[in-house]
Amino acid sequence: MARVSVAISSPLPKSVDSRIPYNQCVAMMLLSVNSFLGAAAMTADSSFRGEVEKLKDKDEKGNQVTVVKCHGRLVGESTNEVKELVKPLIQGGGRIIIDVGDVNYLDSAGLGALVSLKVSAIRQGYCVLELSNMTPRVLELLRITHLTQMFSS
Protein backbone atom coordinates (compact mmCIF):
# COMPACT_ATOMS: atom_id res chain seq x y z
CA MET A 1 0.00 0.00 0.00
CA ALA A 2 1.56 3.30 -1.09
CA ARG A 3 1.65 6.25 1.26
CA VAL A 4 0.59 9.59 -0.11
CA SER A 5 1.55 12.87 1.51
CA VAL A 6 -0.44 16.01 0.86
CA ALA A 7 0.82 19.45 1.84
CA ILE A 8 -0.97 22.76 1.76
CA SER A 9 1.18 25.84 2.03
CA SER A 10 -1.60 28.33 2.70
CA PRO A 11 -2.11 29.54 6.29
CA LEU A 12 -5.33 29.12 8.22
CA PRO A 13 -8.12 31.40 7.05
CA LYS A 14 -7.90 34.93 8.47
CA SER A 15 -11.31 34.36 10.05
CA VAL A 16 -9.73 31.83 12.46
CA ASP A 17 -8.94 33.80 15.60
CA SER A 18 -6.17 32.48 17.88
CA ARG A 19 -8.49 33.04 20.87
CA ILE A 20 -10.97 30.46 19.57
CA PRO A 21 -10.66 27.06 21.34
CA TYR A 22 -8.96 24.32 19.32
CA ASN A 23 -12.09 22.13 19.01
CA GLN A 24 -14.05 25.06 17.56
CA CYS A 25 -11.21 25.68 15.06
CA VAL A 26 -11.37 22.00 14.04
CA ALA A 27 -15.14 22.26 13.63
CA MET A 28 -14.71 25.37 11.46
CA MET A 29 -12.09 23.60 9.36
CA LEU A 30 -14.37 20.56 8.99
CA LEU A 31 -17.14 22.78 7.68
CA SER A 32 -14.70 24.27 5.17
CA VAL A 33 -13.39 20.86 4.19
CA ASN A 34 -16.93 19.50 3.87
CA SER A 35 -17.76 22.34 1.51
CA PHE A 36 -14.61 21.59 -0.48
CA LEU A 37 -15.24 17.86 -0.60
CA GLY A 38 -18.92 18.26 -1.34
CA ALA A 39 -18.56 20.56 -4.32
CA ALA A 40 -17.46 17.72 -6.60
CA ALA A 41 -19.92 15.23 -5.11
CA MET A 42 -23.10 17.26 -5.43
CA THR A 43 -23.94 15.68 -8.76
CA ALA A 44 -22.98 12.20 -7.59
CA ASP A 45 -25.32 9.56 -6.23
CA SER A 46 -26.36 10.51 -2.70
CA SER A 47 -26.75 6.98 -1.37
CA PHE A 48 -24.34 4.81 0.58
CA ARG A 49 -23.72 1.13 0.05
CA GLY A 50 -21.32 -1.23 1.77
CA GLU A 51 -20.15 -4.72 0.83
CA VAL A 52 -18.41 -7.19 3.13
CA GLU A 53 -15.94 -9.69 1.69
CA LYS A 54 -14.03 -12.22 3.79
CA LEU A 55 -10.80 -13.11 2.05
CA LYS A 56 -9.76 -16.76 1.81
CA ASP A 57 -6.15 -16.12 2.77
CA LYS A 58 -5.05 -14.90 6.19
CA ASP A 59 -2.60 -12.03 6.65
CA GLU A 60 1.06 -12.44 7.65
CA LYS A 61 0.07 -12.62 11.35
CA GLY A 62 -2.54 -15.32 10.75
CA ASN A 63 -5.52 -12.98 11.07
CA GLN A 64 -8.73 -13.47 9.13
CA VAL A 65 -8.93 -10.55 6.66
CA THR A 66 -12.27 -8.91 5.93
CA VAL A 67 -12.70 -6.07 3.45
CA VAL A 68 -15.59 -3.64 3.76
CA LYS A 69 -16.01 -1.78 0.47
CA CYS A 70 -17.80 1.53 0.86
CA HIS A 71 -19.56 3.25 -2.03
CA GLY A 72 -21.26 6.64 -2.23
CA ARG A 73 -21.62 9.23 0.50
CA LEU A 74 -20.52 8.48 4.04
CA VAL A 75 -22.54 11.16 5.84
CA GLY A 76 -24.75 11.53 8.90
CA GLU A 77 -27.61 9.60 7.36
CA SER A 78 -25.42 6.62 6.47
CA THR A 79 -23.19 6.34 9.54
CA ASN A 80 -25.46 3.76 11.18
CA GLU A 81 -25.21 1.58 8.10
CA VAL A 82 -21.41 1.49 8.12
CA LYS A 83 -21.38 0.90 11.89
CA GLU A 84 -23.85 -1.99 11.54
CA LEU A 85 -21.60 -3.55 8.89
CA VAL A 86 -18.34 -3.22 10.82
CA LYS A 87 -19.16 -3.59 14.53
CA PRO A 88 -19.98 -7.32 14.35
CA LEU A 89 -16.70 -7.85 12.48
CA ILE A 90 -14.77 -6.09 15.25
CA GLN A 91 -16.27 -8.44 17.83
CA GLY A 92 -15.01 -11.37 15.76
CA GLY A 93 -11.45 -10.03 15.74
CA GLY A 94 -8.98 -10.29 12.88
CA ARG A 95 -8.00 -7.63 10.35
CA ILE A 96 -10.69 -5.35 8.93
CA ILE A 97 -9.90 -3.18 5.94
CA ILE A 98 -12.37 -0.41 5.16
CA ASP A 99 -11.97 0.45 1.49
CA VAL A 100 -13.00 4.08 0.99
CA GLY A 101 -11.81 4.33 -2.63
CA ASP A 102 -15.36 4.71 -3.91
CA VAL A 103 -16.56 7.13 -1.23
CA ASN A 104 -17.32 10.33 -3.09
CA TYR A 105 -18.20 12.43 -0.03
CA LEU A 106 -17.21 12.18 3.63
CA ASP A 107 -18.58 14.65 6.18
CA SER A 108 -17.75 15.13 9.85
CA ALA A 109 -20.36 12.54 10.91
CA GLY A 110 -18.85 9.98 8.51
CA LEU A 111 -15.38 10.75 9.82
CA GLY A 112 -16.70 10.42 13.37
CA ALA A 113 -18.13 7.00 12.55
CA LEU A 114 -14.74 5.84 11.22
CA VAL A 115 -13.00 7.16 14.34
CA SER A 116 -15.57 5.41 16.55
CA LEU A 117 -15.00 2.12 14.74
CA LYS A 118 -11.22 2.49 15.04
CA VAL A 119 -11.50 3.17 18.78
CA SER A 120 -13.78 0.11 19.17
CA ALA A 121 -11.22 -2.03 17.36
CA ILE A 122 -8.39 -0.73 19.56
CA ARG A 123 -10.42 -1.41 22.72
CA GLN A 124 -11.28 -4.90 21.49
CA GLY A 125 -7.56 -5.62 21.52
CA TYR A 126 -7.40 -8.46 19.02
CA CYS A 127 -8.75 -6.58 16.03
CA VAL A 128 -6.89 -4.44 13.51
CA LEU A 129 -8.93 -1.87 11.59
CA GLU A 130 -7.43 0.16 8.77
CA LEU A 131 -8.50 2.28 5.84
CA SER A 132 -7.42 1.56 2.28
CA ASN A 133 -7.63 3.22 -1.13
CA MET A 134 -7.93 6.65 0.45
CA THR A 135 -8.56 9.34 -2.11
CA PRO A 136 -6.53 12.57 -1.93
CA ARG A 137 -9.60 14.29 -0.49
CA VAL A 138 -9.99 11.73 2.31
CA LEU A 139 -6.25 11.94 3.03
CA GLU A 140 -6.49 15.71 3.23
CA LEU A 141 -9.44 15.51 5.63
CA LEU A 142 -7.46 13.14 7.87
CA ARG A 143 -4.44 15.47 7.72
CA ILE A 144 -6.46 18.60 8.56
CA THR A 145 -8.12 16.89 11.53
CA HIS A 146 -4.83 15.36 12.73
CA LEU A 147 -6.18 11.81 12.35
CA THR A 148 -3.62 10.54 9.83
CA GLN A 149 -1.57 8.85 12.55
CA MET A 150 -4.63 7.14 14.03
CA PHE A 151 -5.46 5.42 10.76
CA SER A 152 -1.87 4.59 9.81
CA SER A 153 -1.36 2.29 12.79
**Mean pLDDT for each 10-residue chunk of the chain (153 residues)?**
39 46 51 48 65 91 93 94 95 94 93 95 90 92 91 76
Q: What is the pLDDT of residue 32?
A: 52
Cα–Cα dist 64/84, whole Å: 19
For residue 100, the Cα-to-chain-centroid distance in whole angstroms is 7
Do residues 97 and 128 touch, judged by C-beta distance below 8 A? no
Half-sphere exposure of 60 (CA within 13 A, CB side): 0
Q: What is the pLDDT of residue 61?
A: 86
**How far are the Cα atoms of 2, 23, 98 from residue 60, in angstroms, in the given order?**
18, 39, 18
Q: Can you give the pTM of this predicted structure?
A: 0.70
Query: Domains (ranges, CATH) in the chain?
Result: 22-152 (3.30.750.24)
Cα–Cα dist 65/72, whole Å: 23
| First-to-final CA distance of the chain | 13
- What phi, psi does 55 have (nearest 5°)? -80, 150
Q: What is the pLDDT of residue 21?
A: 53
Q: What is the pLDDT of residue 20?
A: 52
Nearest to 72 by CA among 37, 43, 33, 46: 46
Q: What is the pLDDT of residue 13?
A: 44
Q: What is the pLDDT of residue 69?
A: 97
